[in-house]
Amino acid sequence: MMLPRLMCAGLVLGCSLASPLARAARDDAAAAEDDDNEGEKRQSDAATSFQRIEERKPRAGTPLIDQKLFPMGGRFELTGIFDYSFNDKYVDHLGGSGAAAFHLFDWLAFEGFGGYLLGGETGIIGNVRADGSSAKRANEGQECFDDANGGNGACEPQLPDMWMTTWFAGGDIQWSPIYGKISAVSELDLNFQLYALAGAGAEGITRYLNTGGFDGSQVRFSGNYGLGVRLIPWKWVALRAELRNYNGLNPNVEEHNANDEDACTSGYTLVVGADKQCFPDISTNTMFQVGLSLLL
């Protein structure tokens, strides 16, 4: 009688103990399986979470540009600039300049600038000095500019816009109505401003002479206007690229025909249609300017 009772008690105790142990073992196995699944899920997430969702629409209420990452208002900007003229007619330029600007607002800045340029004549002027009518006059001993009136008799080319800039300084106002950001290689946060500018200044000018030297340096006042983009990859640094046009009034073009010179003492004559007209010699110097800015 005692033996069956002991067997039953042992069975109960064994089952009672074995059941939680078995469950614990199963739980461990399940946990290990879960871990494996979790690992796989993480790998899967890693593979999918950075996949671009094609051109999805933004969530309702998402502003296009949440905030300006690099606001410019109230900041100073110091810039070193490389200057290169392009679309040159008779003279070209290469040089460097510096600029200091204060951004009154995000969209408005005042700037002062100054620099030096190295000028030269384009290849066309080489042909003019060799084969133009002015050169022929000189070679044939004919009268040239103001010869009859005791002038210098120089047979310089009778062309406008022959003066080169040696130095320039001035100021401008920059208006930046557009602020944006670019998705460049998806993760690089590249902010930028597009701006228009207008200003005025002074330039030192000179020109080559047939004798091989330079004419006396003069100063002309000029206006400038242009468009630019300011890329702001970091808070303290910006890259600038500008197209800027400098216009100024040049000295009189020395015409070799006394009648033409008399009719146009501050400029040059040109036949338009059937009439000869007098035009002021307004220089057009289009510069491509690239700069690196320090933002304070």
Q: What is the contact surface with other proteins in residues (CB under 8 A)?
A: 4-5, 8, 11-12, 15-16, 19-20, 23, 26, 45, 48-50, 52-53, 55-59, 62-65, 68, 87, 89-90, 107, 124, 127-128, 131-134, 157-160, 177-184, 186-190, 192, 194, 268, 270-274
- Alpha-carbon distances of 233 from 45, 69, 237, rounded to whole Å: 30, 10, 7
Rounded distance between C-alpha atoms, residue 123 and residue 165, angstroms: 18
Q: Which is nearer to other proteins, 12 or 292 (CB)?
A: 12
Least separation in angstroms between CB 83 and other proteins? 19
Least separation in angstroms between CB 273 and other proteins? 3
Reference 223, options 250, 251, 247; nearest CA is: 247
- Alpha-carbon distances of 185 from 64, 182, 189, 231, rounded to whole Å: 19, 9, 9, 15
Q: Which is nearer to other proteins, 8 or 169 (CB)?
A: 8
Least separation in angstroms between CB 208 and other proteins? 15
Cβ atoms of 81 and 98 closer than 8 Å: yes
Q: Which is nearer to other proteins, 127 or 217 (CB)?
A: 127
Least separation in angstroms between CB 202 and other proteins? 25
Q: Which is nearer to other proteins, 87 or 152 (CB)?
A: 87
Reference 203, options 93, 40, 126, 64; nearest CA is: 93
The enclosing H or E element of 82 equals strand 75-85
- Alpha-carbon distances of 41 from 26, 176, 263, rounded to whole Å: 22, 48, 89
Q: Which is nearer to other proteins, 188 or 237 (CB)?
A: 188
Task: At 110, list the tokens.
Answer: 């005042």
Q: Which is nearer to other proteins, 99 or 244 (CB)?
A: 244
Least separation in angstroms between CB 266 and other proteins? 17
Q: In sequence order, what are the residues at sequence separation of 6 or more whose Cβ sits closer than 8 angstroms to the Cβ of residue 236?
A: 294, 295, 296
Least separation in angstroms between CB 93 and other proteins? 17
